[in-house]
Amino acid sequence: MSKNTVVVTNRSGARLSILGRRIMSLRETIKDQEFPFEQANDAMKFADLVNGQQQRGLTAIYAGPEINTASVDTTAVDTATSAFTQEELKAKTVVDLKTICKERKIKGYSGLNEDALIKLILTAQQ
């Protein structure tokens, strides 16, 4: 029997447990987490419960019976080389912006607010 997989991205910083499955916080992992289910209905219910949390930075996608790696959004993990527009950066959380700074080895970002982080990233990528 094939596994039905839900891919969860948790950039909220919160640690959650839903249907007995532990969703790690951003501090514990920077990778998307995959949760296999035997039944498609269970997988879709889990994805709906995760998305129902309505926490910024927490998303779940039902990937179906097999993971197609081409459909998994890897841009959230590969921020070290991507060029961002100001609009794209404004859509990100402060935690996301600080992760980008860390991956790009930008110094002096730890005490900055969202607007200052965006300006710092845009200046650094020029």
What is the structure's pLDDT at 31?
78
Q: Does 96 fall in a domain?
A: yes
In this predicted model, what pLDDT tens digit does every residue of 60-102 receive, in sequence order?
888 877 544 454 444 444 555 568 888 888 888 888 888 888 8
The tokens for 2 are 């094939």
Output the six-digit token pair for 11.
């950039």
Q: Give a yes or no: residue 81 inside a domain.
A: no
Tell me the percentage of the chain whose pLDDT exceeds 70. Answer: 84
Which among 46, 71, 96 is the end of a domain? 71
Same domain, 99 and 62: no
* 26 belongs to a structural domain: yes
Contact partners, residue 27, CB within 8 Å, separation at least 6:
13
Find the length of the chain.
Answer: 126
Where in the sequence is the domain holding 55, given as residue range(s)? 4-71
Split at pLDDT 50, 70, 90, the class of 126 is confident
Q: Are residues 17 and 59 in the same domain?
A: yes
Which DSSP category does 108 fall into? S
Q: Structurally, how many domains does the chain consist of?
A: 2
Yes or no: say if 47 and 6 are a contact pair by the CB < 8 Å rule.
yes
pLDDT over 50 at 10, yes or no: yes
Whether 79 is in a domain gets the answer: no
Any bridge partners for residue 59, and if so which?
Answer: 9
User: Amino acid identity of 11?
Assistant: R
Structure tokens at 51: 């998305």
Helices (H), the chain: 40-51, 86-90, 94-103, 114-124
- For the entire predicted model, the pTM comes to 0.49
